[in-house]
Amino acid sequence: MIHLKTLEEIELMREAALVVSKTLGMLASEIKPGVDTLKLDAMAEEFIREQEALPGFLGLYDCPNTILTSVNEQVVHGLPTKRPLQDGDIVSVDCGAIKHGFYGDHAYTFYVGEVKEEIKLLCERTKSYLYKGIAQMKEGGRVGDIGAEIQWHAEKDGYGVVRELVGHGLGRSLHEDPQVPNYGKKGRGAKLNNGIVLAIEPMINMGTHRVSQLNDGWTIISADRKPSAHFEHDVALVDGTPEILSTFDYVEDVLGIERSTPRPRKILA
């Protein structure tokens, strides 16, 4: 069952999303060769609690951490470790927070030191597919419109679109209906109505779309061990068009790159 949100609830969800956005921005200045992801995890937990919010992942489904850190061929759900990040790695940091009883959930894939051009391109393009998918969120549209768009662009560029893991509805639970695959057919799937809030999160592999799971019971890796990128935003449908509740501004300002997230709209009178 899809829980549509009121404009007041969507504004509260924006606050939850922004806790995560600021946390990713804080981490952006810490991610460099030699830093281990367990240290980043501890920093993220402290930073979230300082914002009078709760870590959203910690303890959920027995998750032992505040952030999930997926390095190189790891697609998603990598658990933080003491292994130092190395020059040339990429690391997707996925983070959740609870504020006002609502979840924020979003992710950014960071470069560690000097990263190969082809891997940077995978990351840049995956971020662009996220926005292309979001642009398909329209009143009366279907969930399949989002996935079809992401899949078309990713496969045109020769990449693999992960099938086993998907985006999702977001609200008082981290995973609400509907599921939001990053593949699919236009015009198919659940209807998009004003008040729906989705976590849209393309997971795009440099090679095959196939994945497997490590025996830690968490980490998903690409089957051919080629790199994988992951970007995630929280998006509400308001007045028939998408309103992105999270923002990459904090991250992109630290990285010194152009801001990608559209300006927020004032949705309450």
Assess 199 for contact with Mg ion (CB under 5 A).
yes
Assess 41 for contact with Mg ion (CB under 5 A).
no
Q: Which of 102, 120, 136 is nearest to 20 (CA)?
A: 102
For Mg ion, how many residues bind (rule: CB under 5 A)?
Answer: 5
Output 92 or 117, the one with its CB closest to Mg ion: 92
Q: How far is the CB of 175 from Mg ion (least distance, A)?
A: 7
From edge to edge, which strands make up the β-sheet containing 203-205? Answer: 160-161, 203-205, 228-230
Region near Mg ion per CB under 5 A, out of 43-51, 124-132, 157-165, 192-200: 192-200
Assess 180 for contact with Mg ion (CB under 5 A).
no
Distance of CA 142 to the CA centre of its chain: 20
Q: Name residues whose C-beta falls within 8 Å of residue 189's C-beta, 6 or more positions apart in sequence.
A: 142, 143, 144, 147, 178
Query: Residue 239 CB: number of other CB atoms within 10 A?
Result: 10
Restricted to residues 92-111, the positions that interact with Mg ion (CB under 5 A) are: 94, 105, 107
Q: Which of 226, 203, 222, 225 is nearest to 211 (CA)?
A: 222
* C-alpha span between 2 and 22 (Å, rounded): 28
Q: Side chain identity at 34, as an amino acid letter?
A: G
Q: How far is the CB of 259 from Mg ion (least distance, A)?
A: 21
Region near Mg ion per CB under 5 A, out of 20-28, 86-94, 121-129, 255-263: 86-94
Q: How far is the CB of 56 from Mg ion (least distance, A)?
A: 9
Q: How far is the CB of 158 from Mg ion (least distance, A)?
A: 25
Query: What single string gives the DSSP state of each residue in 183-208?
Result: S--TT-SSB--TT-EEEE--EEESS-
Assess 220 for contact with Mg ion (CB under 5 A).
no
Letters for 116-145 (x = contact with Mg ion by CB under 5 A, - = none) are ------------------------------
Assess 89 for contact with Mg ion (CB under 5 A).
no
Residues at the contact surface with Mg ion, assessed by CB under 5 A: 94, 105, 107, 199, 232
